Amino acid sequence: MSDSDGKKTLGVRGPGAGRPGNVKQSFSHGRTKNVVVETKRKRVVVPKPGGAKPSVTGSPQVGDPTKRPAGISDAELDRRMKALKAAKAQEEADAVRRADEEKKRAEDRERRRAESEAKEREEKEREESLRQKAEDEARKKREEEEVKARASAAAAAPGEPAVSAPSSPRSAPKPSAAPRKDRDDNDRNKKNQREDSRRSGKLTVNQALTGGEGGRQRSMAAMKRKQERARQKAMGGNVEREKVVRDVKLPEAIMVSELANRMSERVADVVKSLMQNGLMVTQTQTIDADTAELIIEEFGHNVVRVSDSDVEDVITPQEDDEGDLKDRPPVITVMGHVDHGKTSVLDAIRNARVVAGEAGGITQHIGAYQVEQGGNKLTFLDTPGHAAFTSMRARGAHVTDIVVLVVAADDAVMPQTIEAINHAKAADVPMIVAINKIDKPAADPDKVRTDLLQHEVIVEKMSGEVQDVEVSATEGTGLDQLLESISLQAEILELKANPDRAAVGAVIEAQLDVGRGPVATVLVQNGTLRQGDIFVVGEQYGKVRALINDQGDRVKEAGPSVPVEVLGLNGTPEAGDVLNVVETEAQAREIAEYREKAAKDKRAAAGAATTLEQLMAKAKDDENVTEMPILVKADVQGSAEAINQAMEKIGNDEVRVRVLHSGVGAITESDIGLAEASGAPVFGFNVRANASARNTANQKGIEIRYYSVIYDLVDDVKAAASGLLSNAIKENFIGYATIKEVFKVTGVGKVAGCLVTEGVARRSAGVRLLRDNTVIHEGTLKTLKRFKDEVAEVQSGQECGMAFEAYDDIRPDDVIEIFEREEVERNLD
């Protein structure tokens, strides 16, 4: 365009000539293009004098002299032309000067910018390489040198074009074009605009496919980013900007996303890094600590290994300030020999003192209750029996502050009395002796006192320190004194707790309620438990959905020493489990899961033997066997507790029986699962395995033993534990029958119309009546009939009539178990 002098370039003739303007060009497909047309100049510089015309130049916009004014002479024209030329020359000189100045300024600006940019970049690179050096120094010295070398190379390379590139296109203008510089620039700008507007227009298929146009549409920022990336690449490796070295806590296993989170790195980068290490994982997968450690090091962070058990750290007890502590009611457990009146004493106190909601004497039993005594409250654990006490203690729940030892005045000190004394002493809990049944004519309270002396319990009446109170639970005498003694003892103990902290409590009882789900009675020991609190309890966790007090009322909160029923658990905890309120559900879940896993591992580590015989053989082979795991299921809590107690006593220095689990109800698949995991046999006391449990047990080779006499069970376990199983009576189940109908037959009593479902029913065999997999009767058959005939045997799949000897509480759907006993010789060698 700069060579347009005296020559025609793009021009328009016709009506549009002599005026700058836009001409619209039409192309195919409806595309159009605007062309700016400059025409004036061309006309003016026509050298032919004849046609030449003076004109007002300098302003490209004014370009109208198309005609020579009439009546003008040649001389005049010449003069005018000269003047015009002079003016033009002057103007051109000015324009050149201005252009030069402008150009210089632009160049200056450009240079300064480039310089400062280059400087900045160099600075940054230097910093980076320094940091890089510091980071890598310890690890890879050699590599670091390489990186540095590359870094400096990269610093030089992209720097140069940055300085020269922007100035080059403009720094070489053709001198000849100087007078037209303005216009040229103008033209160029316009053209650029046109090009730009075209670019931002429609995108053809071709453009899209080749990516040409799309590529050019990238923003400046994108280009810069691309350059930056390229530069970083040139510097080598995954150089991180503004790298912060973190201490990454690493548990024994960690989810990929959590690992990324802890390192504050992008998950995608972590996954990529894992893949580079040959591990195809997704962000939700869990990787082991060793792998995670590699990755953490790769990202340049520090590894801080933590153990799984650290999750429990959030519930480590913090000491309360003296000032925060307030008095709390004492928690009392009643202990004593069976039938000495524990339950009666508890009931008497409760009935005498619990006033609210006493209509008809029905109050909700939640395992504990509170009574008032002289303005103070006393909390009684309503679970008499030593097992509860010891199991809680064993689980770390030191719940009881005071033990009330009930001894019947007409009976004196008995084995379980002694046991209770020992428990109380072992737990270092003060005792108060309640000498019960003083209403009885045979009552001899002083005999009780002297008896107790033998067991180092010196009551006040014998000048000792242990308080003693004479009571009668049935008559209600002495109860006030007993409560006063308890209050006095509590005062001495100065029991305190801080109600203004996250609650800690102990499970007294727990069960799966059909309507309400898992329910636990919790005795709050410290802090205050509130509705909505998130907690972990044993291997379970939850959020308090509702709190119900011992009166059966819903309450919003429960402070220290208050027993409440807690709803909102995810599973049923066990008595003695400790409840801790934590801040987040994630914490609660994490702790519960950790505990569950730890318990499972422990059970799994208990050994692989599954039958008593195997266990015993193992005990014989292996001198180091210290624990013999067993599972106990019983018909009632009392039996389960009695068995547990008996099991605790079995064992010597080498072998100890460990009851992994004891519960009430039929043996279920989950029991079998637990037994399998820990290699323990399952003992059913008056309960049976349900069908699926039986099948699983058969498949897995888990031994299930049924008993109906505690001593038999204890003897067998004892024998197994000592490795000296004597000849024993073994029961073989030969058949099962289901009762379809019950008839009354005069002279015979109730007769069950049955279907033999398994094996064979035999007249001579022993029978048990099972209702809901629980044994409710054991005995022999009076009759076994098939179609009116008395028979010796009935096979599986056949119907028959059966009647029990001296027992007729039979119902449809009851199951009759038919068994025979045989003596087996146990020979181990």
> Where along the sequence are the contacts to ligand GDP (CB under 6 A)?
336, 338-344, 384, 436-437, 439-440, 472-474
Handedness of CA 697, 699, 702, 705 (dihedral sign): positive
Shortest approach of ligand GDP to residue 521 CB, angstroms?
19
Q: Which is nearer to ligand GDP, 44 or 403 (CB)?
A: 403
Shortest approach of ligand GDP to residue 281 CB, angstroms?
60
Among left, alpha and beta (phi > 0; psi -120 to 50; other), residue 389 is alpha
Which residues, other chains included, contact 249 with Cβ-Cβ below 8 Å and sequence gap of 6+?
262, 304, 306
Tokens of 336: 């004593």
Q: Which is nearer to ligand GDP, 396 or 638 (CB)?
A: 638
Q: Which is nearer to ligand GDP, 467 or 472 (CB)?
A: 472
Q: Which is nearer to ligand GDP, 343 or 798 (CB)?
A: 343
Contact 753, 740 (CB under 8 A): yes
Contact 701, 610 (CB under 8 A): yes
Q: Give one DSSP letter per residue of 263-320, joined into a string.
A: HT--HHHHHHHHHHTT----TTSEEEHHHHHHHHHHTTPEEEE--GGGGGGGGPPPPP
Shortest approach of ligand GDP to residue 433 CB, angstroms?
14
Contact 647, 659 (CB under 8 A): yes
CB-side neighbour CA atoms (13 Å) of 617: 11
Q: How far, in whole angstroms, is CA 247 from its chain's centroid?
A: 22
Shortest approach of ligand GDP to residue 470 CB, angstroms?
10
3-state secondary structure of 2: coil
Shortest approach of ligand GDP to residue 367 CB, angstroms?
15
Shortest approach of ligand GDP to residue 404 CB, angstroms?
11
Shortest approach of ligand GDP to residue 381 CB, angstroms?
13
Q: What is the DSSP letter of 261?
A: H
Q: Which is nearer to ligand GDP, 330 or 384 (CB)?
A: 384
Shortest approach of ligand GDP to residue 338 CB, angstroms?
5
Q: What is the DSSP letter of 52?
A: -
Q: Which is nearer to ligand GDP, 437 or 694 (CB)?
A: 437
Residues 756, 760, 762, CA angle at the centre, nearest 5°?
A: 110
Which pairing describes strands 627-634 and 682-685: parallel, antiparallel, or unpaired? parallel
Q: Which is nearer to ligand GDP, 296 or 479 (CB)?
A: 479
Look-up of token digits 């429960």: 558
Which residues, other chains included, contact 159 with Cβ-Cβ below 8 Å and sequence gap of 6+?
118, 121, 122
Q: Which is nearer to ligand GDP, 344 or 610 (CB)?
A: 344
Nearest one of 764, 729, 754, 723 to 816, comparing CA atoms:
754
Residues 370, 374, 380, CA angle at the centre, nearest 5°?
A: 20
Residues 708, 711, 716, CA angle at the centre, nearest 5°?
A: 95
CB-side neighbour CA atoms (13 Å) of 663: 19
Tell me the C-alpha distance between 757 and 761, whole Å: 10
Handedness of CA 615, 616, 617, 620 (dihedral sign): positive
Could you tell me where the DSSP H helices lie in 137-180? 141-156, 159-164, 168-171
Shortest approach of ligand GDP to residue 511 CB, angstroms?
21
Q: Which is nearer to ligand GDP, 194 or 353 (CB)?
A: 353
Q: Which residues pair with 799 in a beta bridge?
A: 755
Tell me the C-alpha distance between 483 and 494, whole Å: 17
Q: Which is nearer to ligand GDP, 371 or 473 (CB)?
A: 473
Q: Is 622 exposed, middle or buried (0-12, 13-18, 19+ CB in 10 A)?
A: exposed
Shortest approach of ligand GDP to residue 249 CB, angstroms?
52
Q: Which is nearer to ligand GDP, 271 or 434 (CB)?
A: 434
Distance between terminal CA atoms of the chain? 115
Shortest approach of ligand GDP to residue 518 CB, angstroms?
28
Q: Which is nearer to ligand GDP, 346 or 548 (CB)?
A: 346
- C-alpha dihedral over 646, 647, 652, 657, to 10 degrees? 180
Shortest approach of ligand GDP to residue 254 CB, angstroms?
52
Q: Which is nearer to ligand GDP, 100 or 339 (CB)?
A: 339
Shortest approach of ligand GDP to residue 342 CB, angstroms?
3
Tokens of 452: 């107790």
Nearest one of 605, 755, 766, 770 to 687, comparing CA atoms:
770
Shortest approach of ligand GDP to residue 436 CB, angstroms?
5
Tell me the C-alpha distance between 525 and 497, whole Å: 7
Which helix (DSSP H) or strand (DSSP E) does residue 445 occupy?
helix 445-453
Q: Which is nearer to ligand GDP, 445 or 679 (CB)?
A: 445
